[in-house]
Structure 1
Amino acid sequence: MVSTFTAQRCIEHFTAPDTAVLGRVLREFVADGKYVRSTFAYLGWLCGQPESGTAAQAVASLELLHAFALIQDDVMDDSATRRGRPTVHRQLADWHTRNHTGQGAQRFGRSAAILLSDLCLLWADRMLREADLTTAELDRAWPVYDLMRSELAVGQFSDLLNDTATAPSLEAVLDIARRKSGNYTVRRPLELGAAMAGCTREHTVALQRYGALIGEAFQLRDDQLGVLGDPCTTGKPLGDDLRQGKATSVTVIAREMATPHQRNQMKTLTAALPRSADDDPEWVCSWQKLIVATGAHSRVEQLIDQRVVAASHLLKVARLPALPLQGLMLLAEKCSRRDH
């Protein structure tokens, strides 16, 4: 559905020979999506309405919104890989190197990726608008959709300011995670689907509370994978957050739980920061061993478990329809126990 819509837009807009690369890169990127946000939004819809192809098309637009967010996030972080492939800006830079003379391939790649992400944002709107929802359904959807996009942008800005040098608290880090990722991944998509469907206030509140808890669990797992995950499975370079000095839940908890000797080791590792994690794999390995030794890994697992248990309890007393209830219970486990 999203791949077909994206292919149609690429044919419509990338008519000049030099723009064909944009269509190829974008179609591959969109095809690799996991549809997490769209699935949550559709489950929100099912809490108030029966299954609907129109609703499924409407919420599938979130995959294009997510493509916009990921492409820009990779530019800001200068990430090398995403989903097991070179990031979009790296692919476009490589294309420039192969097909054009002169300097500036890296700048071209970043600039072209930002423009391509802007198209994803516009096409996400168009896909939602053209999904044949009723006027009332769309009118209920837009305020939630606008809030989700605004929170994403503000959360991303806060993430730019987020670094270990400022020694933020765990609550401050989790607040950024909620706005940048948790709400955007789980809570707002659920609210979007529920708003489209005209769900009762009782069901909407239950979805909001569940979404907040599972959104946090999702981000906690993401932080854990960013430090201790397998790059072959996650599709992202290991140690990027460490190299960039980002204060994530894992690193903040590690500092809070560290002994004086372990804190000195952290200072030594920070001072020896490599240009990229690939330049010194042993540096990343040393951080991993140190974080595990502090007990931070186990503490993050406890925090994830607490949120999943609380969310599951909420669902059991929320009196949701059987089909979305089953889906939400399953996704609570999938999002918190995933390995990528």
Structure 2
Amino acid sequence: MTEMLPAPPDVSSLHHEVGSALTGFLDSKDRSAPGAELLHLTSTLRKLLDGGKRLRSRLCLYGWQAAGATGEPAAAVRTAASLELFQLFALIHDDVMDDSDIRRGQPSAHRALAMTYTDDGGRRDRAEAHGLGAAVLLGDLALVWSDELLETAGSAPDRLAQVRPLLAKMRSEIMYGQLLDLQTTGRLSDDVETPLRIIRYKTAKYTIERPLHIGAALAGAAPPVLEACTAFGIPLGEAFQLRDDLLGVFGDSADTGKSVLDDLRAGKATVLMALAVKRASPSELGTLRSLVGRSDLNEEQAHVIRAILASTGARASVEEMIAERRATALAALDEAPFPGVTTASLRGLADAATARQA
């Protein structure tokens, strides 16, 4: 008689525990804080945690499930939660670098901390400097605490030894992607390859591939499982960011939780903009050069840019690129050595990530 293998743990139910793990961890930090001043930072961190999609933690748990879900579920949950703290570190510093006002439908960390400073009686002419400095510290704190949460998650030493190199690679990759983003912002160009490289390192590997890898490593994944995670994760991650670039210009702020003017005001180097520059008429190109990157860009001027992005076919081409990459990711799932429940969940995630409005 064939022995029945146990069903993999239900990742959707485990994912609900990620929030509890984060809350419990921050509660312990508040209790052991050296002074009440630290709550000035952790209260902001808690508010930012409330508004996220928690995609990376979900993918970490899917990776763990894909590789057999061996080891303690609680350790997998806390490891997944550590990725959410690392994500906050990245977002907080990203908003400082981009001078963004809004994150997850509320003031970005440096704006919130500036407002708190004046609310507490601080001088208004010091508020901005305080907000920026405190946000850098908050991001650093989130990074340090993400490490602590991972190291105290309760993973077996041999599994943790498999995770650490993947985490180190993930961190180096996102820093490289962020550097490329900084170097190209404000430089209108028809170069499509560089924004694609930014997408791969800043989003595809960081958002999809590495969280899957880390979760899979927690379960002692064999190389074919890790390779399948890459084959699925890279194209889906690229499609995810291409959708994000479209939403950053054509989306609704009420859905996305951030301004639809920020990318245009900053002059972000996106595939969408590069395609428009490559195909624009001399008149359209002149308009793009005069408007994209203006810090005082208004909605009426943004409407003119959007019209050019549509008339050049750039918007339609990006939609095609999203569809192609989604199809590649789904085809990779057909060959992946994952349990059926994981494959089904990842298919649903691929649909949601590429057709989303937020």
Which bin holds the TM-score, normalised by the shorter protein? over 0.9
Q: Which runs of 4+ in 1 moved over 4 A?
A: none
SS of equivalent to 1:132 = coil
2:28 counterpart (4, 8, 13):
8
Mapping of 1:48-63 within 5 angstroms? 48-50=67-69, 52-63=73-84
SS of equivalent to 2:155 = coil
Structure 1 spans left out of the alignment, 5+ residues: none
Aligned to 2:321: 303
1:200 counterpart (208, 222, 242):
222
- The answer to whether the Cα contact below 8 Å between 2:110 and 2:132 also exists between their aligned partners in 1 is yes
Deviates more, 1:202-211 or 1:108-117: 202-211
Identity of aligned residues (%): 36
Aligned to 1:313: 331
- Deviation of residue 6 (structure 1)? 2.0
- The answer to whether the Cα contact below 8 Å between 2:196 and 2:271 also exists between their aligned partners in 1 is yes
Aligned to 2:287: 265
- Deviation of residue 164 (structure 1)? 5.2
- Deviation of residue 14 (structure 1)? 6.1
- The answer to whether the Cα contact below 8 Å between 1:239 and 1:284 also exists between their aligned partners in 2 is yes
Aligned to 1:95: 116
2:160 counterpart (129, 134, 138):
138
Equivalent-residue separation in structure 2 for 1:11 and 1:47 (angstroms): 37
- The answer to whether the Cα contact below 8 Å between 1:229 and 1:339 also exists between their aligned partners in 2 is yes
2:212 counterpart (175, 180, 190):
190
Give the 3 Å change call, closer, same or farther, for CA 276–235 of structure 1 in structure 2: farther
Aligned to 1:250: 272
Equivalent-residue separation in structure 2 for 1:165 and 1:54 (angstroms): 44
Using structure 2 for the length normalisation, give the TM-score: 0.89
SS of equivalent to 1:157 = helix
Give the residue type in structure 1 aligned to 2:258.
Answer: K
Equivalent-residue separation in structure 2 for 1:269 and 1:140 (angstroms): 48
- The answer to whether the Cα contact below 8 Å between 2:266 and 2:295 also exists between their aligned partners in 1 is no
Give the residue type in structure 1 aligned to 2:85.
Answer: L
SS of equivalent to 1:104 = helix
1:68 aligns with 2:89: yes
- Deviation of residue 38 (structure 1)? 0.9
1:154 counterpart (158, 176, 181):
176
SS of equivalent to 1:100 = coil
- The answer to whether the Cα contact below 8 Å between 1:7 and 1:23 also exists between their aligned partners in 2 is no
1:46 aligns with 2:68: no
SS of equivalent to 2:38 = helix
- Deviation of residue 166 (structure 1)? 5.8
Aligned to 1:22: 41
Deviates more, 1:103-112 or 1:316-325: 316-325
- Deviation of residue 219 (structure 1)? 0.8
Give the 3 Å change call, closer, same or farther, for CA 268–28 of structure 1 in structure 2: closer
- Deviation of residue 63 (structure 1)? 0.4
Aligned to 2:240: 218
Equivalent-residue separation in structure 2 for 1:297 and 1:14 (angstroms): 52
Give the residue type in structure 2 aligned to 1:282.
Answer: E
Equivalent-residue separation in structure 1 for 2:202 and 2:27 (angstroms): 29
- The answer to whether the Cα contact below 8 Å between 1:14 and 1:23 also exists between their aligned partners in 2 is no
Equivalent-residue separation in structure 2 for 1:9 and 1:261 (angstroms): 57
Give the 3 Å change call, closer, same or farther, for CA 303–329 of structure 1 in structure 2: same
- Deviation of residue 53 (structure 1)? 2.8
1:128 counterpart (150, 163, 168):
150
- Deviation of residue 46 (structure 1)? 0.8
After superposition, the CA RMSD in angstroms is 1.6
1:171-230 residue CA offsets vs partner (Å, 9 max, x unmatched) = 111101111111100011111111221112222111111111011011101111111110
Deviates more, 1:305-314 or 1:280-289: 280-289
Aligned to 2:200: 178
2:53 counterpart (14, 28, 34):
34
1:298-337 residue CA offsets vs partner (Å, 9 max, x unmatched) = 1101000000111111111223211211111111111111
Equivalent-residue separation in structure 2 for 1:41 and 1:20 (angstroms): 29
Equivalent-residue separation in structure 1 for 2:197 and 2:122 (angstroms): 46
Structure 2 spans left out of the alignment, 5+ residues: 1-20
Aligned to 2:305: 287
Equivalent-residue separation in structure 2 for 1:134 and 1:203 (angstroms): 20
Equivalent-residue separation in structure 1 for 2:120 and 2:65 (angstroms): 49
Equivalent-residue separation in structure 1 for 2:228 and 2:77 (angstroms): 22
1:237 aligns with 2:259: yes
- Deviation of residue 168 (structure 1)? 5.3
Query: What is the count of residue pairs matched by the alignment?
Result: 335
- The answer to whether the Cα contact below 8 Å between 1:45 and 1:55 also exists between their aligned partners in 2 is yes
- Deviation of residue 274 (structure 1)? 4.2
- Deviation of residue 124 (structure 1)? 0.6
Using structure 1 for the length normalisation, give the TM-score: 0.94
